[in-house]
Structure 1
């Protein structure tokens, strides 16, 4: 399964031994948001720690392809998605509410106040807004809107639309959208082209970097048509694409807006080259792969190692009409693993969670199912500078000391690593240790299955939505049953899976999360904070409610520089790994991409995001050469 890279880290160069008196005390200090950013002056961009790569009036981002031709169709299979989006089916075109299943890439249809630069870890630049001005207390943000900004029906985008949107999302938006707005106290239109967003002062210092990139809706359209998932009607958009042809659950097409009002703006120039971006929906991966082999789908990112190793042996591949390539991954944290739902009583004891992790034999799985393609994951920030390694540094120790007696003891030593097996698929030592942990947790065997003192069986149902996971589960499931856990796997359809995941109606699922390059407090809350444990639709799949985790997230949100943030997140990583809420599985360093040889792309790929549908283009000569023009 894949999950949204919904929010996109910089290395630590200087130390801060003063953490004992600085970051530890951070919640007690004044919240000096954007301390290095000038107030009372219109700014063309914002960065978490004040550094912007591009000056005011810049013509384009460095990774833009200014000479790329416009045209053609990009029929692809998305590798990430956001909000309520579903890659296997859809039954609504509102991708910004909790309920329903929306198609991926609906966000391409909407403009935002500001937009991210993919070659910087935390910078945003003006899109709808030509500038933003910070109030003296840095809790108010006034955006000057571009007068030329238009919705797709030609009506102007006004400050009233923007203010309405933020109020609407705070009340009815998907948890990814409403949570960052928790501390928004006012969204006010000051004339047709000036909008003011004011926060309580309790928001994280990087909150605005997320909030300013939210989609903007038409007030008139929403008031007339509603804002829910009950109808399959697209919201009036304002982005570089609009919804074209579609058939619910089968396909959706996004059509490029040829006379788009923002096409020559610096943050948009040199992107969005395809006339049509099309997504076809297949109920399982095999069907999707067969469609690619036939040429119905032209681009896919391969997530199945067996297919990558052996499946690309078909006529078009042998003829050179289909290409395989590995594209460098982003400098962002990545988490993929199994999640145990602690809303279920049997998984609340950390010893039970550790015992279950001992049953997963990565070495056997990697060799026998994945052709040794993967590297074992251990961290919640794999591949990022926030990953804890070895013993805590002096700076980490200073922060950890605050939580002595509250955080798990394992967090204070060497960073917790996932168990290594003998590769047999049934490592006796690991299973023996798992049985011992379960016995210590009060589970005893009865008729071949473990029971607690109340006579309740220890059950575990692994919920999946694709048959590929049934194969991966073989060794793991056998090991669970071998130590007395009544383990099973249930395959459900895509809509049921989405619904049960959103409502936390599962024992265990697998999930992939792409972290931001500079994680903000709200993004971390989505995954780990107590306040999202009961919020349906959040990504706190494990149901974590831990005051230590909560406080570390709040300290991270108030970090005044990247080095302080790095130390805090390394400590958070240590605590989460010691809690064993997830069983980290594996990761790749590159994107495995296969495509029909009819596209062009720049080798100057940005470091922090990879939206191929915006960066690549249709090459007519190549398409003619392979008979796909």
Structure 2
């Protein structure tokens, strides 16, 4: 399963932050031109003015020190939590370790207690041109790479040009409308666009990590690199054992360590990640104290596994933290690049075979809720009948999008909880018959005599266990269904090249999604780009147009309408089979850390916000 975050979450994964004494923030769409701005937001005023001293969600007096050894719960770009074979996280190929973003700064960066605001980091200010198609960044002259060399506008221009040409799709696609990245002088960068970009495109692009030009002039820009590209962030790569362990060491003389929004962040001297191919092995390492923090994604272990001595004695804390206030999706993609999955009736029939109610009761210990929306847990989830505003967007496509779009928002029907709901399986059988699949010798075949086969690709035996009842239901109605478990490297390679029938992905979106963020999952152009997250291969002009409407929204109400309309079409198309979600983070950790509550609403980077508490560690014998 792939768990991904939007590009704007490079802050949450370790990019540093800074603020500059410029004019107070204005809504991005209404931001003044021709003057330096210290921050931008998609809609509304910025929370933090030019004279703020630190973010509210940090402890400015947090001590520095200690080692944080954890299992990353999320990752971006080509990163893989199970293994790694490259330290170049900017390309589509290869497996990079999570948290490489800790090593790089960006032009601007997000605050985790605001839904869409960004503040200057490498750039002390940004000036918008009168036509709003170019942005001039005044870079901080004190910015330095880890080798002491200056970080200049040439480095930034080179990085954007490189990403636009050969970068990972998450970096490449938003740069579609970038026409030029130019160094005006050593400390002034200009990004120019063709006028077709969304305002919120810029919010993503401005948070891209910036490696050194000198590194990629001397080294190939591919997945062969087990030497870390040179960065300027609060951490640098330390000890590395390929595929097994990576350590990130705090940079003692980090150029931005005293900037206001860095106060209270990046407190651990060392961040260590150990890689386990097997979930149970990782859990055993946590029980022994080799791993110090984990989020639990296996409901069976959460319900029955936390009874070991260290927890009973109070050395380990088991608790829940509120989830972020942002949309998410966990769903199974059926690959429409394969002809047998192009008929929506086939996809709907496959979905009807999944008995969530039985699975939740018998395998999940009642820990989850059924996902229905593409944008679950958010105001962007469509409910009931379309509103007049939604209909205004949808009506032009009547006859070209499913008729179900115009009725109640499509939901996956609940089962009777038996594990083999005869009514739902009967509906699935009728849908497959209508799609031209007839049962012969116990299996479904089309007019060419080809069988209807479906292989679910997984990289963990937990999903083999979870999906086995679903597979058995598919087999009961004549689908030649199976699960194929492969190692993490093969899994990532097959996902990147779209070499699968069905695959699961979990995605967390920004609280204020940009057009480009949605593009990579649903737009036609992403379907052809290997490494993108358009795993079903969705190609639909109506979807593309609705994504354009998302990008054109100038206020939150308009954005919400466009997102709900998009949700309706995606759900009616049955491109993704919704899985399940949890309302909270289920976390366990050795009681040796300090942290401030409540957590921020839009991110949970414990490795960046928490700190080592020597007194707590001494009490549990973890000095």
TM band (smaller chain): over 0.9
Match of 2:586 in 1: 592
Q: Does 1:559 align with 2:553?
A: yes
1:141-220, aligned counterparts within 5 Å?
A: 141-220=135-214
Structure 1 residue matching 2:3: 3-state secondary structure: coil
Please say if residues 454 and 480 of structure 2, whose CA atoms lie closer than 8 Å, have aligned partners that are also in contact: yes
Give 1:402 deviation, angstroms. 2.0
Give 1:62 deviation, angstroms. 1.0
Match of 2:3 in 1: 3
Aligned partners of 1:379 and 1:168: how far apart in 2? Answer: 36
Match of 1:322 among 316, 320, 325: 316
Please say if residues 58 and 266 of structure 1, whose CA atoms lie closer than 8 Å, have aligned partners that are also in contact: yes
Please say if residues 125 and 267 of structure 1, whose CA atoms lie closer than 8 Å, have aligned partners that are also in contact: no
Structure 2 residue matching 1:120: 3-state secondary structure: coil
Match of 1:30 in 2: none
Deviations along 1:79-137, one digit per CA (max 9) or x if unpaired, are: 10000000000000001111110000001100100001111111000000000000000
Deviations along 1:164-186, one digit per CA (max 9) or x if unpaired, are: 11111111211100111111111
Give 1:604 deviation, angstroms. 2.9
Give 1:266 deviation, angstroms. 2.4
Q: Does 1:232 align with 2:196?
A: no
TM-score of the superposition, structure 1-length normalised? Answer: 0.95
- The ranges of structure 1 where at least 4 consecutive aligned residues each deviate by more than 4 angstroms after the TM superposition are none
Match of 2:487 among 493, 496, 506: 493
Aligned partners of 1:220 and 1:362: how far apart in 2? Answer: 52
Match of 2:41 in 1: 47
Match of 1:603 in 2: 597
Match of 1:393 in 2: 387
Q: Does 1:519 align with 2:510?
A: no
1:248-397, aligned counterparts within 5 Å?
A: 248-397=242-391
Please say if residues 98 and 537 of structure 1, whose CA atoms lie closer than 8 Å, have aligned partners that are also in contact: yes
Match of 2:20 in 1: none
1:400-419, aligned counterparts within 5 Å?
A: 400-419=394-413
Aligned partners of 2:478 and 2:214: how far apart in 1? Answer: 59
Give 1:267 deviation, angstroms. 2.6
1:453-464, aligned counterparts within 5 Å?
A: 453-464=447-458
Structure 1 residue matching 2:239: 3-state secondary structure: strand
Match of 1:74 in 2: 68
Structure 2 residue matching 1:3: 3-state secondary structure: strand
Please say if residues 374 and 586 of structure 1, whose CA atoms lie closer than 8 Å, have aligned partners that are also in contact: yes
Aligned partners of 2:537 and 2:268: how far apart in 1? Answer: 41
Aligned partners of 2:5 and 2:209: how far apart in 1? Answer: 17
Match of 2:461 in 1: 467
Deviations along 1:170-209, one digit per CA (max 9) or x if unpaired, are: 1121110011111111111111110100011111121110
Aligned partners of 2:113 and 2:312: how far apart in 1? Answer: 36
Match of 2:58 in 1: 64
Structure 1 residue matching 2:185: 3-state secondary structure: coil
Aligned partners of 1:442 and 1:222: how far apart in 2? Answer: 53
Please say if residues 36 and 50 of structure 1, whose CA atoms lie closer than 8 Å, have aligned partners that are also in contact: no
Structure 1 residue matching 2:549: 3-state secondary structure: helix
Please say if residues 115 and 267 of structure 1, whose CA atoms lie closer than 8 Å, have aligned partners that are also in contact: no
Aligned partners of 1:156 and 1:340: how far apart in 2? Answer: 48
Match of 1:478 in 2: 472
Match of 1:15 in 2: none
Give 1:605 deviation, angstroms. 1.2
Aligned-residue Cα RMSD (Å) equals 1.0
Deviations along 1:492-549, one digit per CA (max 9) or x if unpaired, are: 0000000000000000011101111111011101000000001000000010001110
Structure 2 residue matching 1:563: 3-state secondary structure: helix
Aligned partners of 1:396 and 1:223: how far apart in 2? Answer: 49
Structure 2 residue matching 1:543: 3-state secondary structure: coil
Please say if residues 523 and 538 of structure 2, whose CA atoms lie closer than 8 Å, have aligned partners that are also in contact: yes
Match of 1:131 among 125, 128, 131: 125
TM-score of the superposition, structure 2-length normalised? Answer: 0.96
Match of 1:23 in 2: none
Please say if residues 7 and 170 of structure 2, whose CA atoms lie closer than 8 Å, have aligned partners that are also in contact: no
Structure 2 residue matching 1:583: 3-state secondary structure: strand
Aligned partners of 2:203 and 2:354: how far apart in 1? Answer: 38
Aligned partners of 1:373 and 1:2: how far apart in 2? Answer: 20
Match of 1:529 in 2: 523
Aligned partners of 2:225 and 2:179: how far apart in 1? Answer: 31
Aligned partners of 2:174 and 2:196: how far apart in 1? Answer: 11
Aligned partners of 1:35 and 1:520: how far apart in 2? Answer: 13
Please say if residues 37 and 50 of structure 1, whose CA atoms lie closer than 8 Å, have aligned partners that are also in contact: no
Q: Which moved more, 1:262-271 or 1:475-484?
A: 262-271
Please say if residues 29 and 42 of structure 2, whose CA atoms lie closer than 8 Å, have aligned partners that are also in contact: no
Change (3 A) 1:346 1:307: same
Match of 2:440 in 1: 446
Structure 2 residue matching 1:190: 3-state secondary structure: strand
Unaligned runs of 5+ in 2: 9-26
Give 1:585 deviation, angstroms. 0.9
Deviations along 1:30-58, one digit per CA (max 9) or x if unpaired, are: xxx94311000000001112421111132
Aligned partners of 2:380 and 2:65: how far apart in 1? Answer: 41
Structure 2 residue matching 1:531: 3-state secondary structure: helix
Please say if residues 511 and 602 of structure 2, whose CA atoms lie closer than 8 Å, have aligned partners that are also in contact: yes
Alignment length, in residue pairs?
Answer: 605
Aligned partners of 2:269 and 2:424: how far apart in 1? Answer: 55
Give 1:222 deviation, angstroms. 1.6
Match of 2:620 among 593, 610, 626: 626
Structure 2 residue matching 1:149: 3-state secondary structure: coil
Aligned partners of 2:299 and 2:232: how far apart in 1? Answer: 39
Match of 2:532 in 1: 538
Aligned partners of 1:266 and 1:442: how far apart in 2? Answer: 64
Please say if residues 352 and 438 of structure 1, whose CA atoms lie closer than 8 Å, have aligned partners that are also in contact: yes
Match of 1:18 in 2: none
